[in-house]
Amino acid sequence: MPIVTGTDTARTRRTLDAAGQQFTYYSIPAATEAGLGDFSRLPASLKVVLENMLRFEDGGFTVSVDDIKAFAAWAKNGGKSDREIAYRPARVLMQDFTGVPAVVDLAAMRDGIKALGGDAQKINPLNPVDLVIDHSVMVDEFGNQRAFQVNVDREYQRNIERYQFLKWGQGAFNNFRVVPPGTGICHQVNLEYLAQTVWTDTDQTGAIVAYPDTLVGTDSHTTMVNGLAVLGWGVGGIEAEAAMLGQPVSMLIPEVVGFKITGALREGVTATDLVLIVVKMLRDHKVVGKFVEFYGEGLDNMPLADRATIANMAPEYGATCGFFPIDNETLRYLRQTGRDEDRIALVEAYARANGMWRDSAVEPVFTSTLHLDLGSVVPAISGPKRPQDHVALDAAAKTFKAYIEGLRPAPSVPKAQKFEMTEEGGAPAPSSSEIPGSDRGGVEIPCAPVEGRDFTLGDGSVVIAAITSCTNTSNPYVMMAAGLVAKKANERGLTRKPWVKTSLAPGSQVVEQYLRAAGLQEHLDALGFNLVGFGCTTCIGNSGPLDPEISKSISDNDLVAVSVLSGNRNFEGRISPDVRANYLASPPLVVAYAIAGDMNIDITREPLGTDREGKPVYLRDLWPTSQEVADLVHDVVTREMFQQKYADVFKGDERWQAVETTDSETYDWPPTSTYIQNPPYFRGMSRDAGTIHDIDNARILAILGDMITTDHISPAGSFKPTTPAGRYLTERQVSPADFNSYGSRRGNHEIMMRGTFANIRIKNEMLDGIEGGYTKCPEGKEAAIYDAAMAYQEAGIPLVVIGGVEYGAGSSRDWAAKGTNLLGVKAVIAESFERIHRSNLVGMGVIPFEFTHGVNRKSLELKGDEVISIDGLEGDLKPQAMVECHILYGDGRERTIQLKARIDTEVEIEYLKNGGVLQYVLRNLAKAG
């Protein structure tokens, strides 16, 4: 299938001139002239989707005139529609954690289609795919000049099998490019280089067609590029594979929430503070599965980097996307980041011609609206375990103490112990009696991690402070602010507390360049924020180990240690197994908390420390003015920096160039590999689809609470030798030092099955007060979830999982669905689902059901010994059908309830009949010859 198709006689084809060249495009105003409807007040994000309908309706694909007219009806009906459409994004973006299993699936599909008598070359991306290796670097070494080199060396040692496989894929598949390790985070590379805002291609008539740049990505934060007016969102790897193989994204015309921005940020308030309140507002507004579009005169005061920060966090507020229309700031950013001037001219000409230019005089129709005056935003953090847990900075210490009080019984006689620090250049820190909250007690570390130091830890000790993630490290304003705080602190003689693990992992090499050009990196280094790598690191759980004695002290004394990171995720068990309270904060606040070292300190009122003269130093003494930051960004961040750093973006360094791989059409699966294994999805598959069956006499594998994230279901971080995954590797002579992480081993289904529902903080309500991936096996004994699931499979007993509200929130982690499937789970029954995970479950042949009529796991008094049967799935099943669920309780009682099948479209019914979306695609390709 071509990316752009068409005929010269199409009723909506028009031409425009830009930079001395003529382009064909599909005109929304022409659709109105043709009598298809009034689209003038559609939100810009929906106009992008409408253009997609116009373009592919011309090509004779599965788009009808009624699909186009439905957009006009959407506007008339107050921003609502039940119309199902087939949407085709222009390209696909991947990162290596989710990209490796996607390429594994493609390689397995080549084997599968050959087994069905088809052509292996049918398995090739039809749409362009870019995979950026950014999730594999760990913070093993930190706080010194050798950290970057050591971490890169270890990254290659750990991941060479994965890199060899990805390099094979780059050579074996068409339309597939790999951005090597050490380049940056995929979303920042996309924002700074890959994205074009308006894309071009040549159709069958020879015309150069201009159309909106759109994509789906195998990472939930693909939405970051919405800040550049590029419509994109995260999908699971299985959806992305279908999209790259030519399958449309089946979706209902979404509701669009308008978020009006007015005013300007006050002095001292950052883009991070802004996005944290936006997350709370939109999560409270309930925008799951909806588009959010930002509008209003306040956008005139919002740099594109700030817009990208807000767009990045769409998964945290639950929306499909957080879109910003094209305007002059879009053009300025494209120019600053080195895009071609002809492309910039095309972007402006196209947006104005097709009604996609932001016009403050026209307020689009929205399904609902919110309003935020930027002047009302205050400095803030979010935590301790959800991005929407917004806390004003001046209430952070008080809120944390309340959190601890909720965890702890009434304290015994408090202990007050001294902090002593003899770091060179520093001054003695205040005794614990001078530190707010220090009367909570402390636990002495028997052996200080650095010779010559002696200190105590307690609840609230900040043991990780990380400037990390795609969210903030793409924003030069907050990064320069962090550097300026470090500079002023260093000049006063302050440094990080010795128990704080500090790290700086920029989203692109450009960040390192402008921090050095501004003279700020040396000051960050002085505080321990040395460069540790270019990648996601701490934000995805690659924080690396804490000092063994700090880790032991936390574990032995059951302390609530704290991390502060400039990331987008702070779910339980994600950042570090040693850390229970995680806070999202702006990069300059990360630096401040590294200096303070304690969440109990009110950094808005109490000193962070004392200077060389013994005088107290407050946050206000270190905080730069907005003008200081803006001037530095203006003077230092140049177009030439971006052009230089992205000149050879696909080439990689000498390490990547030296990676050896095979040159073959199908992959030669190494039988002894513990990273890459041929998955079982297509084994023994017939050429014909099956049917959807009722679920009879299923047992409950787990009963889970609200806001169960994909991190709970399929953790990305480290694991211990005593876990099922650890035992698997140990049996294959892999030492614990070489376990790496779940995320890095997503190419091996055996590891990932064992890691499903294995998060150390997950709570199965079938068990009393036990954390971790445990359940009851068929005999009623406690067992690891994997072990119990295998016992049920051996007995031929199907399984279901029970959940609460917002089941599957967080990352677009296809293994959360794949692992669920491979454990033998036939259905997940929850109060509500997050968008991506619901779709992934269907794509893997697992049916999501929602409780109805106010019924939930609590009102049903489920204990886990019930037998579940679901009828009404066979025969003429319709999308979102109501079906009956029969519950046989352990004491013999019976109850029947109604469930809503969250199979949302007709195409999804076809996926389930085939056992999943990949099987559906494979059969169709095999039948096509």
- 140: Cβ–Cβ under 8 A, 6 or more apart, which residues? 150, 151, 154, 544, 545
Does 452 or 843 have the greater pLDDT score? 843
Reported as a pLDDT band with limits 50, 70 and 90, residue 97 is confident
Report how far Cα 6 is from the mean position of its chain's Cα atoms: 35
| Encoded tokens for 129 | 């795919």
Band of residue 886 on the pLDDT scale cut at 50, 70, 90:
very high
Average pLDDT over residues 175-179: 94
> What is the rounded CA–CA span in Å between residue 508 and residue 185?
6
DSSP letter at 530 equals -
Q: 849 near 827, Cβ under 8 Å? A: yes
Q: How confident is the model over 888-905, as pLDDT tens digits?
A: 999 999 999 999 999 998
pLDDT, residue 442, reads 44
- Report the CATH number at residue 850: 3.20.19.10
Q: 751 and 844 in one domain? A: no
| In a domain? residue 80 | no
Cα(509)–Cα(529) distance, rounded to whole angstroms? 16
Shared domain for 748 and 775, answered yes or no, is: no
Report if residue 721 sits inside a domain: yes
Give the confidence band of 414 by pLDDT, cuts at 50, 70, 90.
Answer: very low
**Secondary structure class of 6 (helix, strand, coil):** coil
In a domain, residue 37? The reply is no
Average pLDDT over residues 504-522: 93
Q: Is residue 841 part of a domain?
A: yes
Residue 367 located in a structural domain:
no
Q: Give me the mean pLDDT over the 489-515 stretch.
A: 94
The DSSP result for 216-270, as a single string, is EESSGGGGGGGGGT-EEEE--HHHHHHHHTT--EEEEPPPEEEEEEES-PPTT--
Q: Across residues 488-500, what is the average pLDDT? A: 96
Same domain, 742 and 817: no
Confirm if 191 and 308 have CB atoms less than 8 A apart. yes
Task: Label the pairing between strands 249-252 and 129-132.
Answer: unpaired
Q: Are residues 791 and 848 in the same domain?
A: yes
Reported confidence tier of residue 441, pLDDT bands at 50, 70, 90: very low
Q: Is 19 contained in some domain?
A: no
Other Cβ atoms less than 10 A from the Cβ of 781: the count is 8
Say what the pLDDT of residue 415 is: 35
Are residues 709 and 722 located together in one domain of the fold? Answer: no
Mean local confidence (pLDDT), 107-133? 93
Q: Which domain holds residue 709?
A: 695-714+762-913
In 3D, which of 625, 638, 400, 691 has the Cα closest to residue 513? 638
Output the pLDDT for position 409: 66
Do the domain assignments include residue 95? no
Question: Averaged over 112-141, what is the pLDDT?
Answer: 89
Residues 6+ apart with CB under 8 A from 49: 71, 85, 87, 231, 253
Listing DSSP states for 663-687 in one string gives --SS----TT-SS----STTTT--S
What percent of the chain has a predicted confidence (pLDDT) above 90? 71
DSSP 36: S
Q: How many helices (H) and strands (E) does the chain have?
A: 31, 34
**751, 674 Cβ separation under 8 angstroms:** yes
Asked if residues 790 and 701 have their Cβ atoms less than 8 Å apart, the reply is: no
Domain boundary (605, 640, 675) is at 640
Cβ atoms within 10 A of the Cβ of 126, count? Answer: 16
pTM for this prediction: 0.82
Number of domains in the chain: 3
For the chain, the distance separating the N- and C-terminal CA atoms, rounded to the nearest angstrom, is 15
Amino acid 269: pLDDT: 95
How many CB atoms are closer than 10 A to CB 572? 22
Query: What does the angle CA 872 – CA 874 – CA 877 come to, to the nearest 5 degrees?
Result: 75
Which of 96, 185, 183 is closest to 675 using CA atoms? 96
Range in 1-10, 268-277, 846-855 the model is least confident about:
1-10
φ/ψ of 543, rounded to 5, equals -75, -15
Contacting residues for 749 by C-beta, under 8 A, at least 6 apart: 677, 679, 680, 818, 822
Given a contact cutoff of 8 angstroms between Cβ atoms, the answer to whether 758 and 772 are in contact is yes
Q: What is the pLDDT of residues 586-601, one digit of tens each?
A: 999 999 999 999 999 9
Percent of the chain surpassing pLDDT 70: 94
Is the same domain home to 533 and 591? yes
Distance between CA atoms of 844 and 809, rounded to whole angstroms?
17
pLDDT band for position 507 (cuts 50, 70, 90): confident
Could you give the CA distance from residue 541 to residue 753 in angstroms, rounded to a whole number? 19
- Among residues 521, 541, 544, 539, the alpha carbon closest in space to that of 531 is found at 521
In the predicted model, is pLDDT for residue 450 greater than 70?
no
Element (H, E) at 342: helix 341-353
Look up residue 9 and give its two tokens: 């006689």
The predicted pLDDT at position 332 comes to 97
Q: Identify whether 79 is part of a domain.
A: no
**Does residue 613 carry a pLDDT above 70?**
yes
> Domain check: are 475 and 455 in the same one?
yes
The Cα-based distances of 93 to 171, 326, 497, 705, 902 in angstroms read 17, 21, 39, 32, 27
Paired tokens of 833: 């689902």
| C-beta of residue 912 within 8 angstroms of C-beta of residue 845 | yes
Mean pLDDT (the chain) is 90
Clarify whether residues 734 and 805 are in a common domain.
Answer: no
The reply to whether 790 and 885 lie within a common domain is: yes
Average pLDDT over residues 181-202: 93
CA distances from 330 to 196, 347, 413, 634 (A): 11, 9, 59, 16
Please give the average per-residue pLDDT across 602-624, as a whole number. 96
d(CA 755, CA 746): 10
Same domain, 505 and 609: yes
pLDDT value of residue 264: 95
Kindly state the tokens that stand for 712.
């709970």
Q: Which pLDDT value is given to residue 130? A: 95
Residue 603 has which token pair? 């950094």
* 455 lies in the same domain as 502: yes
Distances (CA, A) of 697 to 700, 799, 800: 10, 9, 10
SS3 content of the chain, % helix, strand, coil (to 5): 35, 20, 45
* CA–centroid distance for 200 within its chain: 28
The closest alpha carbon to 73, from 33, 97, 41, belongs to 41
Q: What CATH number did the domain enclosing 617 receive?
A: 3.30.499.10
The residue from 755, 773, 807 where one domain ends is 755
Residue of 303 and 469 predicted with greater confidence: 303
Question: Whats the size of the chain, residue-wise?
Answer: 929
Flag whether pLDDT at 539 surpasses 80. no
DSSP annotation of 779: T
Mean pLDDT along residues 195-217? 95
- The answer to whether 99 and 163 have CB atoms below 8 angstroms apart is no
Judge whether residue 251 has pLDDT over 60.
Answer: yes
- Number of neighbouring beta carbons within 10 Å of residue 851: 23
Residues 436 and 489 in one domain: yes
Q: What's the confidence (pLDDT) of residue 220?
A: 85
With tokens 């905080």, the residue in question is: 623
Tell me the backbone φ, ψ of residue 806, rounded to 5 degrees.
Answer: 55, 40
The CA-atom distances, in angstroms, between 279 and each of 285, 344, 370, 428, 475 are 10, 31, 12, 40, 18
Confidence class of residue 148 from pLDDT cuts 50, 70 and 90?
confident
